[in-house]
Structure 1
Amino acid sequence: MKNTAITLIFLLIFTVFGFQCTVFERTEKIDFWENPVLLDLDEITKRGYIRAIVDNSSTSYYIYRGRRMGYEFEMLKNLASTLNVRLHLIVKSDIQEAFQLLNRGKADIIAMNLEVSEERKQFAAFTKPLGTMGTVIVQKKGKTPVESPFDLHGKVIHIQKGAIYEAQLCSLQNAMGVEFAIMEEQGNGDAFINKVLREEIEYTVVDKVVATVNASFNPELHVGMEISPKADVAWAIRTNSPQLEQAVNDWIAKKEKSGYIRTVYAKYFQNSNNHYFRNNSQYSSLGGNRISPYDDIIKAGADNLGWDWRLLASLVYKESGFDTTATSDKGAMGLLQLMPVTTERFGVENPNDPMQSLIGGVNFLKYLDKFWRQRVPDNTERLKFVLASYNVGHGHVEDAWRLALKYGSNPQSWDSVAGFLKLKSDPKYFNDPVVKSGYAKGNVAVSYVQDVLLLYDSYRTLVSP
């Protein structure tokens, strides 16, 4: 009844004002694309990471059993590795906002498989096509299926805000003279399909491949007529970033030739069984809100530490991938990869027991936090010292802290101390009189801290507290 009433209200409004697309077009001046920030590949390489905008969806980017997954994610991870930089992700579903972030220098690439259009070319440059996609009407079975434009007469179609679908529907409306209403809302294809299945809306338009994948495990879903035939889709880059554009295009050409892009595409778009399980699992950020089977004890341990439980989960995943039987070549064991000396010190009798491992690891982390508390009072900075100490040992991190103090750097800043920790593989520094623990692969510990915090950022974005 509620949906019927809403639809009748929409129809009344549209009867008065007409079903013209211009009624709903945005009228504000869009000038975010003018004078984009000057930031190209040389600066990205210098800072050491590339920022990419992705969508949180069953094909783009999500968390499954603690792992970051998705078509765009895997592609971007490979690209970042090729460029020899780290990957930082920004999750957005609002396409216009994505273009704004890109041109304001808050992001470097939009990896959303955007259909290339003349309008969008004023907002950004586009890479070589990564494939083609068509768009289709989606509805729930049980009602007269939409098979021609005239079946849309008098209907209300809900679509993703900022997507190409609005222009496609307006073109169809004007060409065929059929009257229907277009309602733009926040969300992605998966979200709109779920609204259709829950009967919150009657019709939506999504990419055909997304509709087909969802229909493969949702028998109630009807994929109707094409709104637009297949067209090239690509990633977006600032118009004044020719170095980055060339580098990405070179990467695409190489990966197309090797078959890599086809393989990743098949993994996420052509295996409906895997897609179903990843989309509906309780350990998926799409179908549930659990990261691992050990979330409850991780939450208890995090409360004891005063941490966000998703931060501790990130550390556990980095250490063991949630495998209670994991054993390193150095003898570290269990969820939190405790060394024998640590298990003995903190009373852990069986490091493969998840509860004992969590308790032992948490107690060790509390010890490390106490060790650094006076040296590094700021909680955010101290966390990085604690993580590095967990990985390489607090003696090596303390050596780097002493070197920072000796050479006039800020010993309370992780960035300063991390720089000296990296130098602990250089004889000039690990033989320095202030160094007590000798040689260390400090760059590994620095990367470890970055990995845990990047994973935590993903968990924090995609998994509820």
Structure 2
Amino acid sequence: MKKALVGVFIIVVISLFGVQCTFMDKKEVQQNPWENPVPLDLDDIVKRGYIRAIVDNSSTSYYIYRGRRMGYEFEMLKKLANALGVRLHLIIKSDIQEAFSLLNKGKADIIAMNLEVSETRMKMANFTAPLGQMGTVLVQRDDLHAIKDLWDLQDKVIHIRKDAIYKAQLEEIQDNYGIEFTIKEGKGDNELFIQQVVNKKIDFTVVDKVEAMVNTTYFDNLNIGLEISPKSDVAWAIRKNAPELEFAINAWVAESNQSGYIQTLYAKYFKNSKNSYFRNNSPFSSLAGNAISPFDDIIKRGSEDLGWDWRLLASLVYKESRFDTTAVSYAGAVGLLQLMPVTLERFGVNNPNDPLESLMGGVNYLKYLDKFWRERIPESNERVKVILASYNIGHGHVEDAWKLTLKYGGNPQSWESIARFLQLKTDPEFYRDPVVKSGYAKGHMAVNYVDDIMILYDSYRVLIDP
């Protein structure tokens, strides 16, 4: 009996210590993901078909304007993704430390925040070739109390973005000049802190000079004359164990600099202050308002009838017509949702140029497709993607792909499985299969169509309130 009790005791002790060690090991990995980054390089990204990049939601990085995705970083990333032959997926974050964690955990591939390279950051990631240079400035209100000299920072309180390089720069000023002032870090992007200065919630912040200059075109009461740090190189961050990706990005940066592309893009976003001001202060910008298009009200009305998130329906409208009521496709499709004449007639649209009538005709067609697929694909998130593909290429072709999925042992309730066979409808082996009724189709285009809408919808969900 004693031996049995001793044995149980030993097992319990070993289990406890084992659990404790495992817990501590996991905790250590969670705290320092850059010490053991997920092995994921360019080949894996290409096989996966998309690259994931972390960006800010700001006037100099990424935002929505009239339903369209815009921004300096966004346009560069899109061009890079095209050069790599993959699609672009964006992750919107303002927390820099979290961005490095996601990068090393393999949940992102690039941090595209124009980061200044520092020793601390180089422990967490590698950096691409420089994409430009940026200095930093103090942002304050332009009034009688505006300070003009670093010595005037004595006893002041400066609020800055958490985990940015600004803290180290300010601490260097304290050490070099012997000045005492308080540094308070907080969550949020630079433009949030600038807005707080404008609204008199705080008196001072520090941001990149270029970003500060852009914001002076929106707010005439800003003073950005005091330099905190001179220009230094900025770059994107990538995992340390992704040398192929690093090489490919650096080659693209070199080519883009040589062709003048980066300089042209820089001028578009940072030197044309009039256009920037108009875009970023428009009610149809995610930076200033909460509207996607002039037709949001009727889109919301249609989405209620359909049972969709209105931002998803807005994504479809943007993809079809760019919110242009007079748009006509090469095939003769018209209106906000680009319906063909036969579909217009079938769903009761007499005037396709009337926004409400055109939209509700498209909504009625979507309801028809929803009914067609409801029993076969009960899960709404999967069914939505099948409906979108059906809207693009016709539900006959998608039904063929669904039958092929069933025949070859795939999951007929999964869009991913159906999409695989939809793309195979260019292959005679599959489009001539006895279960196929609609024949050949460029199914890959419909799959890309669905991806485009869902990617745009993801951005709308993050940047536009429901």
Name the TM tier (shorter chain). Answer: over 0.9
Partner of 1:324: 325
Give the C-alpha shift of residue 462 in structure 1: 0.5
1:355 aligned partner: 356
Aligned to 1:231: 232
Cα deviations by residue, 1:47-69 (Å, 9 ceiling, x for unpaired): 10000000000010000000000
Shift of 1:30: 5.3
Which residue does the alignment assign to 1:99? 100
Give the equivalent residue in structure 1 for 2:269: 268
Secondary structure at 2:124's aligned position in 1?
Answer: coil
User: Is 1:424 the counterpart of 2:425 in the alignment?
Assistant: yes
The answer on whether the counterparts of 1:365 and 1:390 sit within 8 Å (CA) in structure 2 is: yes
The CA distance in 1 between the partners of 2:400 and 2:31, in whole Å, is 53
CA RMSD of aligned residues (A): 1.0
By how many angstroms is 1:288 displaced? 0.4
Q: Which residue of 2 aligns with 1:4?
A: none
- Tell me which residue corresponds to 1:8: none
Indicate if the aligned counterparts of 1:280 and 1:287 stay in contact, CA closer than 8 A. Answer: yes
Distance in 2 separating the partners of 1:63 and 1:377? 32
Encode CA deviations 1:178-199: one digit per residue, 9 max, x unaligned.
0000000111221111111100
Aligned ranges for residues 183-198 of structure 1 at < 5 Å?
A: 183-198=184-199
Q: Which moved more, 1:69-78 or 1:376-385?
A: 376-385
Query: Does the 8 A contact of 1:146 with 1:224 survive in 2?
Result: no
What is the alpha-carbon distance in structure 1 between the residues aligned to residue 93 and residue 131 of structure 2? Answer: 20
**How far is the alpha carbon of 1:33 from its aligned partner?**
1.7
Contact 1:411 1:417 in 2 (8 A): yes
- What are the equivalent positions in structure 2 for 1:40-79 lying under 5 Å apart? 40-79=41-80
**In structure 2, C-alpha distance between the alignment counterparts of 1:189 and 1:234, rounded to whole Å:** 17
Answering whether residue 205 of structure 2 is matched by residue 204 of structure 1, we say yes
Q: Aligned equivalents of 1:32 and 1:173: distance in 2?
A: 32
Comparing 128-137 and 184-193, the one that deviates more: 184-193
How far is the alpha carbon of 1:428 from its aligned partner? 1.8
Output the amino acid matched with 1:169: L
TM-score, structure 1 as length reference: 0.93
1:291 is matched with which residue? 292
Give 1:210 shift.
0.9
Alpha-carbon distance in structure 1 between the residues aligned to 2:281 and 2:147: 28
Q: Does 2:403 align with 1:406? A: no
Letter aligned with residue 353 of structure 1: D
CA distance in 2, matches of 1:229, 1:143: 26
* Residues 218 and 281, structure 2, Cα contact 8 Å, conserved in 1: no
Instruction: Tell me: CA distance 1:129–1:319, structure 2 relative to 1, closer, same or farther (3 Å).
Output: same
65-74 or 343-352, larger mean C-alpha shift: 343-352
Give the letter aligned to residue 103 of structure 1.
Answer: N
Q: Deviations over 1:286-330 (max 9, x none)?
A: 010000000000000001111100000000000000000001111
The answer for the alignment partner of 1:380 in structure 2 is: 381
Distance in structure 2 (CA, Å) of the matches to 1:94 and 1:309: 28
State the match for 1:81 in structure 2: 82
- Aligned partner of 2:16 in structure 1 is none
**Alignment partner, residue 157 of structure 1:** 158
Look up the equivalent residue of 2:418 and give its one-letter code.
V
Letter in structure 2 aligned against 1:408: G
Residue type at the aligned position of 1:399 = D
Q: Is 1:33 the equivalent of 2:34? A: yes
User: Residues 311-366 of structure 1, C-alpha deviation per residue, up to 9 Å, x if partnerless?
Assistant: 00000000000000001111110000011111111110011111011110001000
Task: Give me the whole-angstrom Cα distance separating, in 2, the residues matched to 1:404 and 1:154.
Answer: 69
8 Å Cα contact 1:134/1:208 also seen in 2: yes
What percent identity do the matched residue pairs reach? 68
What's the CA shift string for 1:414-439, capped at 9, x where partnerless?
11111111111122211111111111
Aligned length, in residue pairs? 437
C-alpha distance in 2 between matches for 1:322 and 1:344: 21
SS at match of 1:338: coil
1: distance between equivalents of 2:274 and 2:315?
27
Match of 1:123 in 2: 124
Name the residue aligned to 1:453.
Answer: 454
Structure 1 residues 267-289: Cα deviation after superposition (integer angstroms, max 9, x where no partner): 11111111111111000000100
Residues 160-175 of structure 1: pairs in structure 2 closer than 5 A: 160-175=161-176
Secondary structure at the residue paired with 1:135? strand
> Corresponding residue for 1:16?
none
What code does the residue aligned with 1:325 have? T
Counterpart Cα distance in 2 of 1:79 and 1:404: 34
3-state DSSP of counterpart to 1:57: coil
Structure 1 gaps of 5+ residues are 1-28
Equivalent AA in structure 2 for residue 225 of structure 1: L
Letter in 2 for 1:390: Y
Where does residue 316 of structure 2 map in the other structure? 315
CA distance in 2, matches of 1:348, 1:102: 49
> Quick one: distance in 2 between partners of 1:330 and 1:397?
20
Structure 1: distance between partners of 2:33 and 2:425:
45
Amino acid at match of 2:304: D
| Matched position secondary structure for 2:146 | coil
TM-score by length of 2: 0.93
C-alpha contact 1:395 1:436 (8 A) present in aligned 2? yes
Task: Tell me which amino acid in the other structure corresponds to 2:69.
Answer: R
1:196-223 deviation line (CA, Å, top 9, x unaligned): 1100000000001111111134221111
Aligned-residue offset at 1:112: 0.2
Post-superposition CA distance 1:379-419 (Å, at most 9, x none): 11111110000000000000111111111211111111111
Task: Tell me what 2:392 maps to.
Answer: 391
Counterparts of 1:224 and 1:94, CA distance in 2:
27
Distance in 2, Cα, partners of 1:387 & 1:74: 26
Q: Could you tell me whether the CA contact under 8 Å between 1:279 and 1:286 is conserved in 2? A: yes
The 3-state SS of whatever aligns with 1:367 is: helix
CA–CA distance in structure 2, aligned partners of residues 429 and 33 of structure 1: 45
Q: Hey, which bits of structure 1, 4+ residues long, moved more than 6 A?
A: none
Deviation at 1:32, TM superposition (A): 2.8
Query: Letter of the aligned partner of 2:144 in structure 1?
Result: K
Contact kept? 1:381, 1:414, Cα under 8 Å: yes
Structure 2 Cα separation of the partners of residues 104 and 63 of structure 1 = 28
